[in-house]
Amino acid sequence: MFFIIQQKISVHSVCSVVRGLPGTCMKYLFGPVNSRRLGLSLGIDIIPNKICSYNCIYCEVGPNTDQTCERREYVPVMDVLAEIDLLLTDKEAVDRLDVFTITASGEPTLHSGIGNIIRHIREKSGKPVAVLTNGSLLHIGEVRQDLMAADIIIPSLDSARDESFRKINRPAACVALEDIIKGMKDFNREFKGNLWLEILLAKGINDSAEDIEALVEATHSIQPERIQLNTVVRPPLESFAVPLARDELEHIAGYFHGNVEIIADFTTKKQKHFRYANQNDILDMIQRRPCTADDIAQALNLDPSHVAATLKELTKSGRLTVTGHDGKFFYQKENNDRKQN
Ligand code: SF4
């Protein structure tokens, strides 16, 4: 899953421009981006501030604005649907998409209108809908019902032991680990789509032999179609959130049954057919989460040298800052209030 508000430049004050509808300001839609897992994905951010039931040590969005389990209409459903309908008028742009991905700068299932939004996209576009969630509300019947209409659900389960669960996800008091695991199990028993379970491991926090054993047992009971192992590959909220090496993840992957993959990006990918993008496209992507130059070039299919030159210019003019993490340089906005997943 995976974005706060310290000093606020919220998405409401920074219009993003959905490519395909040049010049159109969007508050909730962003992209499309080339997602490694999902293909060409149009993102929909239904909680622009970081309101979440967790406060993960590896969160790339920053500190919570609010930590809660309260479900409500955080942004008007009608406004989100209006933007979706506007996008759908550009048939050519929509045809190119592989998927609509519902996410949030916090936790998207906190939005009480998520079911309506999923159903609207499915009915009007015919395209698959994916949801990135921390999975903490899946024990609630209404949430399970809302998500049934989606095609792909990607929940997180970073630990199946209470001690390490509290260390890595730092959940709100309203969250209980056993409810989450049961909720995922119950959901997947009825769900007709694909459930891909993401597990993010941080060194010395949730990667002990006991932790892995408990996770193997939990995944066996949940029966996800895929198990996706990840680590702290982006600048984390806490400096003690340290990544595992690829060979450590590979070793751990060997303990899990079924379809297990490592999704942590340790490589630099090459793009061949580049498109033109302006500074706003790049700023819009960085507004949502800290990114490396490679992330931007790959997601927006841009010439890496063009990205490097643009980033240099934006950094020099003070619009971006650079942070080092795990041997990579991440660009972010000074007052960034947004996230990943
Ligand atoms: S990583 Fe996701 S689940 Fe964890 S605190 Fe950040 S937004 Fe919430």
Residue 183 sits at φ, ψ, to 5 deg, of: -60, -40
Residue 9 sits at φ, ψ, to 5 deg, of: -115, 95
Q: d(Cα 71, Cα 64) in Å, to the nearest integer?
A: 16
Q: Tell me, what's the pLDDT at 21?
A: 52
Instruction: Output the pTM of the full model.
Output: 0.80
How far, in Å, is the centroid of ligand 1 from the Cα of 103?
A: 11
DSSP tally for the chain: helices H, then strands E: 11, 14
Q: d(Cα 339, Cα 17) in Å, to the nearest integer?
A: 17
More confident of the two residues 12 and 18: 18
Q: What is the mean pLDDT of residues 25-43?
A: 88
Q: What is the mean pLDDT of residues 269-287?
A: 66
How far, in Å, is the centroid of ligand 1 from the Cα of 273?
A: 34
Q: Tell me, what's the pLDDT at 268?
A: 46
Query: Do 195 and 155 meet the contact criterion of CB atoms below 8 Å apart?
Result: yes
Q: Tell me, what's the pLDDT at 289?
A: 79
Query: Using a 6 Å cutoff on CB, does residue 155 contact ligand 1?
Result: no
Query: Using a 6 Å cutoff on CB, does residue 339 contact ligand 1?
Result: yes
Residue 20, pLDDT above cutoff 60: no
Tokens describing residue 111 = 């939005």
How many residues does this entry show for the chain? 341
How far, in Å, is the centroid of ligand 1 from the Cα of 267?
A: 24
Q: Tell me, what's the pLDDT at 274?
A: 55
Q: What is the mean pLDDT of residues 288-310?
A: 80
Residue 18, pLDDT above cutoff 60: no
Tally Cβ neighbours within 10 Å of residue 239. Answer: 9
Query: Using a 6 Å cutoff on CB, does residue 56 contact ligand 1?
Result: yes
The domains located in the chain, with CATH, are 16-268 (3.20.20.70)
Sign of CA dihedral 219, 260, 155, 327: positive
Query: Using a 6 Å cutoff on CB, does residue 2 contact ligand 1?
Result: yes
| Residue appearing with tokens 């971006």 | 320
Query: Using a 6 Å cutoff on CB, does residue 65 contact ligand 1?
Result: no
How far, in Å, is the centroid of ligand 1 from the Cα of 167?
A: 13
How far, in Å, is the centroid of ligand 1 from the Cα of 154?
A: 13
Residue type at position 301: N
Query: Using a 6 Å cutoff on CB, does residue 180 contact ligand 1?
Result: no
More confident of the two residues 13 and 36: 36
In tens, the pLDDT along 48-89 reads 789 999 999 999 988 888 999 999 999 999 999 999 999 999
Query: Using a 6 Å cutoff on CB, does residue 4 contact ligand 1?
Result: no
Q: Which among 326, 139, 306 is positioned nearest to 222, based on CA atoms?
A: 139
Query: pLDDT band at 24, cuts 50/70/90?
Result: low
Tokens describing residue 40 = 């060409």
Q: At what angle do helices 114-125 and 77-88 cross, to 10 degrees?
A: 20
Alpha helices, DSSP H, located in 10-140: 77-88, 91-96, 114-125
By alpha-carbon position, which residue is closest to atom 4 of ligand 1? Answer: 56
Q: d(Cα 159, Cα 169) in Å, to the nearest integer?
A: 9
Residue 145, pLDDT above cutoff 80: yes
How far, in Å, is the centroid of ligand 1 from the Cα of 272?
A: 33
More confident of the two residues 20 and 11: 20
More confident of the two residues 67 and 331: 67
Query: pLDDT band at 326, cuts 50/70/90?
Result: confident
DSSP letters along 40-57, please?
EEEEEES--S-EES---T
